[in-house]
A and B are shown apart, each in its own frame.
Chain A
């Protein structure tokens, strides 16, 4: 569930300059209190994110063999 987000336009880690802008979302896990994950939202920077939006974890971010956890808006979200 989305708590907060930002659109990164000026990255500080090498390699991300070719993918800006990208959205990072802070998601609280509904399965357990006090756990959260911050990941890229694969729906793009114009996605209709809002506080409380339901999210799915996705592990296919880079397409380069690295499996970095990422997020997608849940299509059946209320």
Chain B
């Protein structure tokens, strides 16, 4: 049987840019994205005309009835190419969950196949006008007919089910989660572009937060924001001629549902079982193991996702994710570092960008005051283990 080619060490991140993360921007998302892309290319020591590949995952992750106008509410790779006024040899978008890991793998495959030499990957998120998941629907068809008439709508409600399962099965409490969320917000105080940069959070703030769908409170959900991140990828050979220390893609895993189901209706077992294949692919493709990781960017768009990722990837035994992470949250020297990116709960709803950015910054020794000594292996995840993706990066080929 032919095995897929591992990407280990052959493709590197060589530059980045991150826009300010704002609740809403007075500048159209497309313009925010173009400026961020230009800065990323310059950061990599390249000119715009050097970039010959473009990719993204452009999903607006809302259940609301919002328009999705390219350049306004979403930004596709095609839109970036057209408005940068450059010629692309290769342009593609990732359309599954795990938008950013999927986009990274598209970029890697374009470089490995020779389709492009330098690939610009961006992720742009807008906070649309009105309630993010509010949907004024008066009828529901297709799979929505089985959920909307029950009042079952939107990720906060959907995620409450596996989180409640987790709490009941393993004895996790909101006090455990309070330490996790507070640690993410604490880390974000040192991140210049974070939406929450100057706004600390206390345990009491968390415990008294407004409930949306018990046990999910408003502070278990990342805040919708407007912003863009961009990264430049190239081959390991080309990377040596560029100004910053290259950070090499070492492994990849893509989530696969354990069983067929309706959108967003996952039990705890569905999430963990579906993540096992992702974990196998991730560790096998890299030759690494959880104990090798220095920077562990577990995705946290909803706080319990971190428990699920920690257990699916093998950082914690089943049922121990809350214990591991609440312990790590109380110890800034804990290794791996689970919180240094600030995550989505600390930065805003940037859909995996904080985790990928932290891998790059720490491994390229560009994390400034947050720099951790000897960080050489980083992990970045997005979405859920059964539906999203995970990436490993190293400082060595």
Q: Is the CB of A40 within 8 A of B151?
A: yes
B72 at the interface (CB under 8 A from A): no
Contact A6 B151 (CB under 8 A): no
Smallest Cβ-Cβ distance to A38: which chain B residue: B152
Which one of A3, A11, A26, A69 lies within 8 Å of B151 (CB-CB)?
A11
Q: Are A24 and B165 in contact (CB under 8 A)?
A: no
Contacting pair A26 B149 (CB below 8 A): no
A14 lies within 8 A of B136 (CB): yes
Residues of chain B in range 146-188 having any CB-CB distance to chain A below 8 Å: 147-154, 156-157, 160-162, 164-165, 168-169
Residue with the greatest number of chain A CB neighbours at <10 A, chosen from B149, B267, B268 = B149
- Residue pair A24, B150 in contact (C-beta under 8 Å): yes
B153 touches which of A12, A19, A69 (Cβ 8 Å): A12
Judged by a CB distance under 8 angstroms, whether A13 is at the interface is yes
Say yes or no: B160 contacts A6, CB within 8 Å.
Answer: yes
Q: A22-B151, A24-B157, A34-B259 are in contact. Are A10 and B213 (CB under 8 A)?
A: yes
Whether A13 lies near B161 (C-beta < 8 A) is: no
Chain B: interface size category:
35 or more
Closest B residue by C-beta to A62: B149
Chain B neighbourhood of A7, CB < 8 A: 211, 213-214
Per-position contact with A for B173-205: 1 when CB-CB < 8 Å, else 0? 000000000000000000000000000000000
For the complex, is A68 an interface residue (Cβ under 8 Å from B)? Answer: yes
* B133 contacts A12, C-beta separation under 8 Å: yes
CB–CB A9/B212 < 8 A? yes
Q: Kindly list chain B residues whose C-beta atoms are within 8 Å of the C-beta of A16.
A: 151
Q: Does A47 contact B (CB under 8 A)?
A: no
Say yes or no: A12-B131 contact (C-beta < 8 A), given A24-B151, A38-B152: yes
With contacts A6-B214, A7-B211, A24-B151 known, is A14 near B138, CB below 8 A? Answer: yes
Shortest distance in angstroms between A24's beta carbon and chain B's nearest beta carbon?
6
Query: Known contacts being A12-B154, A13-B151, A24-B151, is A6 close to B164, with CB within 8 Å?
Result: yes
The answer for the CA separation of A51 and B165 in the assembled complex, in Å, is 8
- Do A12 and B135 form a contact, CB below 8 Å, given A6-B216, A38-B152? yes
In the bound complex, do residue B135 and residue A14 qualify as a contact, i.e. CB atoms below 8 Å apart?
yes
Which B residues are in CB contact (< 8 Å) with A66? 149
When distances are taken between beta carbons in the complex, the residues of chain A under 8 Å from B169 are 51
Q: Which of A6, A9, A51, A70 has the most CB of B within 10 A?
A: A6
**Contact bitstring A19-62, B, C-beta under 8 A = 1, else 0:** 10010101000000010101110000000000100000000000
- Across the two chains, which residue of chain B brings its CB closest to A14? B136
Q: State how many angstroms separate the Cβ of A47 from the closest Cβ of chain B.
A: 13
In residues 107-153 of chain B, which contact A (Cβ within 8 Å)? 131, 133-138, 147-153
Q: With contacts A14-B135, A39-B150, A66-B149 known, what are 7 further pairs, Cβ within 8 A? A: A4-B162, A5-B161, A8-B157, A12-B131, A12-B135, A22-B151, A40-B151
Query: Could you give 20 example pairs across A and B, Cβ below 8 Å?
Result: A4-B161, A4-B168, A4-B267, A5-B164, A6-B164, A8-B213, A9-B210, A9-B211, A9-B212, A9-B213, A10-B156, A13-B151, A14-B136, A19-B151, A34-B259, A38-B147, A51-B169, A68-B149, A68-B150, A69-B150
Instruction: Report the 4 A-B pairs with minimum CB-CB distance, sorted nearest first.
Output: A6-B160, A12-B154, A7-B214, A12-B133
Which A residues are closer than 8 A to B by beta carbons? 3-14, 16, 19, 22, 24, 26, 34, 36, 38-40, 51, 66, 68-70
* B residues in contact (CB < 8 Å) with A: 63-64, 131, 133-138, 147-154, 156-157, 160-162, 164-165, 168-169, 210-216, 259, 265, 267-268
